[in-house]
Structure 1
Amino acid sequence: MIETLKKVLLLVAVLGQVVGIALLVVSIWLGILFYILYGLAIIALFIVLIVERAKEKEEDDKNDYSDY
């Protein structure tokens, strides 16, 4: 599920630049609204990546056998 969410957010981030510029040409309000949604998607992507990294670190700490 998280992998799918990451892929969708990455797709929005990549296509967001092109679509945002096109929408700014067509309609300023749609362009601004899309850039706001684009910004929220970028923030959500960073949150997902941070949470995933924290889980990996927790798992690494749990499986740390360096004290033997």
Structure 2
Amino acid sequence: MPKDVPSARKAFPLRLDPALYLALERCAAAELRSVNAQVELLLREALARRGVALADPAMPRRGRPPKAD
């Protein structure tokens, strides 16, 4: 992939306080999400409260692929 084309997801290391991570795990489990998805949701909510507009996240296509003719 060329360097000027962003990948679908940006990976980076994140260090968290263990108590904060446990709280994220509990919240994620209660909402049937992964911790990663919970962190992303919370960051999007925080940015929205600050008035930072983001494009809607690209959702992967689910289900069967369309039939070829």
Q: Shared topology, TM-score over 0.5?
A: no
Structure number with greater Rg is 1
Q: Which has the higher contact order (CA 8 A, sep 6+)?
A: 1
The normalised TM-score by structure 1 is 0.29
Q: In proportion to residue count, which structure has more helix?
A: 1
